[in-house]
């Protein structure tokens, strides 16, 4: 993988477009599901290479994260991860469930709601990517982890790994929560994805 590919603004724009459309669909699903207006915006997209793994913590600004992880395979193989700061995750879950916020109260209902949210967001992003790029992709069942920073860092620091970092803001009523959607690829898988993007441009 060349640094030039990573820095190419056209590639970045293409990813941003894919993410915006996919996440827009996710927001519509979430709105219908929660019976509340859910808006998700994508302010920026970045690419992070193995050597820059510390930047994950710099980006999230916290060492305590809740993650929903889902592997996908087929013509492109990778792992999609929704990362939320623990406090933000609690706030989101409370909003979705229409309950009063209780710190440290990650019960089954909160976890269930966040798992479903993660599944919808990842599905929107990766689903749209497969539609636009005409890729056949299969999915594993998503998993949730309450203290997921270590797992994310381990994935990101694998030799040759390249991560697409989709910075997103979720707004439900008056609650605004930052999150990151990560797409982690191996070096060859990422090259294959870039080739696909170039071929449809």
Partner 1 sequence: MDMQSEILDAAPYGTLVVDGGNGILFANQWVLRQMGRSREELIGSNIESLCNPSPLVLRQMILAREQGRPVILSQRLHGYFLPIPLPVHHVSGFTHMQQETTIVPLAGSDHRMAITIRDVTPIVVGDKRLKQLQRDLESARERAERSDRNKGRFLAMISHDIRTPMNGLIGYTELLLDTELDEHQRNYAETIHSSGHMLLNLVNDILDYSKIEDGKLRIRPKLFDVREAVEDTVAVFRPDAARKGVDLKVSIDGLGPVSFFQDGLRFRQVMANLVSNAVKFTDRGAVGVNVGYTKGYGRILDRLEVAVTDTGPGISSEGLAGLFEAYQQLDHPTPIKGTGLGLFISRQLCQLMGGDVRVESELGRGSVFRFTVSSAEAQLEACEDAQPMEVYPPHVRRTDQTDSLRVLVVDDSPTNCRLLGSLLGRLGHQVDSAGDGNEAAACLSLKPYDLVIMDLLLPHLSGFDLAKNLRQGAYGEGNRWVALCSLSGLEKHDISGSLTDYGFHFHLRKPIDTLALNEVIRAVVEA
Q: Which residues bind partner 1 (CB under 8 A)?
A: 29, 32-34, 96-97, 102, 105, 107-109, 112-113, 115-116, 119, 123, 126-127, 130, 137-142
* Least distance in angstroms from the C-beta of 188 to partner 1: 23
91: tokens are 């706030």
* Least distance in angstroms from the C-beta of 72 to partner 1: 8
In 3D space, the residue among 169, 171, 144, 178 whose CA is nearest the CA of residue 31 turns out to be 171
CB nearer to partner 1: pick between 55 and 131? 131
CB nearer to partner 1: pick between 32 and 44? 32
CB nearer to partner 1: pick between 6 and 146? 146
CA distance 66 to 156: 16
In the chain, the N- to C-terminal Cα span, in Å, equals 19
CB nearer to partner 1: pick between 102 and 188? 102
Say which residues have a Cβ less than 8 Å from residue 190's Cβ, sequence separation at least 6. Answer: 1, 162
* Least distance in angstroms from the C-beta of 25 to partner 1: 9
> φ and ψ at 176, to 5 degrees?
-125, 120
> φ and ψ at 94, to 5 degrees?
-60, -40
CA distance 163 to 142: 18
CB nearer to partner 1: pick between 123 and 148? 123
Q: At 89, is the secondary structure helix, strand, or coil? A: helix
* Least distance in angstroms from the C-beta of 137 to partner 1: 7
* Least distance in angstroms from the C-beta of 125 to partner 1: 11
């Amino acid at each position: 993988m060349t640094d030039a590919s990573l820095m190419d603004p056209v590639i970045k724009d293409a990813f941003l477009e894919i993410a915006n459309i996919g996440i827009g669909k996710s927001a519509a699903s979430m709105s219908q599901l929660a019976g509340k207006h859910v808006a998700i915006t994508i302010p920026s997209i970045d690419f992070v290479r193995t050597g820059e793994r510390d930047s994950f913590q710099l980006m999230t600004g916290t060492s305590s994260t809740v993650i929903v992880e889902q592997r996908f395979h087929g013509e492109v193989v990778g792992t999609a991860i929704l990362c939320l700061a623990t406090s933000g995750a609690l706030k989101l879950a409370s909003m979705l469930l229409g309950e009063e916020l209780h710190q440290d109260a990650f019960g089954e209902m909160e976890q269930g709601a966040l798992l479903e949210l993660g599944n919808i967001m990842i599905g929107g992003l990766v689903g749209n990517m497969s539609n636009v790029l005409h890729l056949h992709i299969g999915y594993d069942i998503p998993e949730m982890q309450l203290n997921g920073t270590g797992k994310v860092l381990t994935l990101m620091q694998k030799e040759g790994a390249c991560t697409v970092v989709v910075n997103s803001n979720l707004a439900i009523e008056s609650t605004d929560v930052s999150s990151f959607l990560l797409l982690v690829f191996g070096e060859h898988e990422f090259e294959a994805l870039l080739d696909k993007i170039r071929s449809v441009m």
